[in-house]
Amino acid sequence: MSLGTLTMHHDYESGTTVEGTTRNSPAHLALKAHPSWTWSRYAAAWLLRSSRHRQSKPYALAEIERVLTDAGYTVERDVDDTMPSVEQREADLADRMDDRADRLTERSGKHQAQADATRAKADYVFHNIPMGQPLLVDHYSYRADLNRRERAWNNLGKSINQGEYADELARRADTASHHMGARHNPVTVANRIETQEADRRRLQRELDGEPGWVTETDEHGQPRDRWVTRRPGEERAAYLRREITTLTEQIDYWKGIYAQLQAEGKASTLGPDTVSKGDWVLYNNMWMRVRRVNKKSVTVPNPVFPPPQPGEKEATWTVAWHKLRGHRTTEEMPPEVVEAYEVPGVDRSN
């Protein structure tokens, strides 16, 4: 016998919710005990954490559907995975960050006002105690004086805590106000593109089928390992294609942003076509000599280690092109820097 019908709903703005539960019902208790779900007063429903402003998570939906079905409910799905363009999503994110900064700034001001008022109560008591006036233990006013001083000390400590919380809210507001600027930092954008491209390749390999060992049982009931090409099921393949499409849209958008940053002179345009072995590149405010030019990076001496002694192998590391901030030929470098750079035992980090 079914305990009732619940609806799992998902859309871009609302996220993934479970609607139709009642307080202290088996569904309510199951969702409350699950670490991925929380009650949303805004939606008046159970909300899957980190599900807003993105596509649905099929495996999270399947898991909670199984839990609710086992509890005796009939579960219906209402899933809309329609997404706005990447550009619109970034604009929406910028608006949300602005709203968050405004809310936190307002809350910070209110808590700071409370801290000031609480501190004023404490100061009023302390300023009205004559300097050096002790507690008069045998006086009739002893108990009232003691209580008044204790309240003042409590208010003083409370005002400090309130002020610290106001400062924390102000710090969060400042972080939110600078979020989009940090999100469009050239190095951050290039790193994001690299990560998304790696994720897309990984998903594409799984979609195409990856070779691996599987354990099967032969006709005699004995386990046997066999090398096969493992391909995803239909549901998994549909999910992979959806994720690959989403990543492709994001990569194209961020590549456009990075090209714009390059055109504005904010992002590095250095590469194997502009830098040669023996040139100098600027990384982390250090000029380092190029030992090898690669397709995606440049090899330079590791500044942690001094130049090698004769017969020793030099310690090197690689730096991605987008992390470089300058380029010079040997002729453009000060001669004394060039000469000192190759001297054994010299600290290259200075």
Q: Are 49 and 60 in contact (CB under 8 A)?
A: no
Contact 243, 237 (CB under 8 A): no
Best CA proximity match to 5, nearest among 17, 20, 23, 24: 20
Dist. CA 62–CA 337, nearest whole Å: 63
Q: What is the DSSP string of 138-157?
A: TSTTHHHHHHHHHHHHHHHH
Domains of the chain, by residue range, sit at: 5-79, 88-179, 189-263, 280-341
Residue 343 has phi, psi (to 5 degrees) of: -75, 125
DSSP strand pairing (5-11 vs 45-48): unpaired
Hey, what amino acid is at 40? S
Quickly count helices (H) and strands (E) in the chain. Answer: 8, 13
0.85 surpassed by pTM: no
303, 286 Cβ separation under 8 angstroms: yes
- Supply the pLDDT for residue 222: 82
pLDDT in tens, 126-148: 999 888 888 888 888 888 989 99
Q: Given this model, what pLDDT does residue 246 score?
A: 95
pLDDT of residue 306: 83
Strands, DSSP E only, in the chain? 5-11, 15-19, 37-40, 45-48, 74-79, 210-217, 223-230, 280-283, 286-289, 292-293, 297-301, 316-320, 326-328
Cα 69 to Cα 19, 60, 100, 235, distances in angstroms: 14, 14, 38, 20
Res 220: pLDDT: 78
Structure confidence at residue 349 (pLDDT): 66
> What 8-state DSSP symbol labels residue 302?
-
pLDDT, residue 219, reads 76
pLDDT computed for residue 110 by the predictor: 97
pLDDT beneath 70, residues of the chain: 1, 349-350
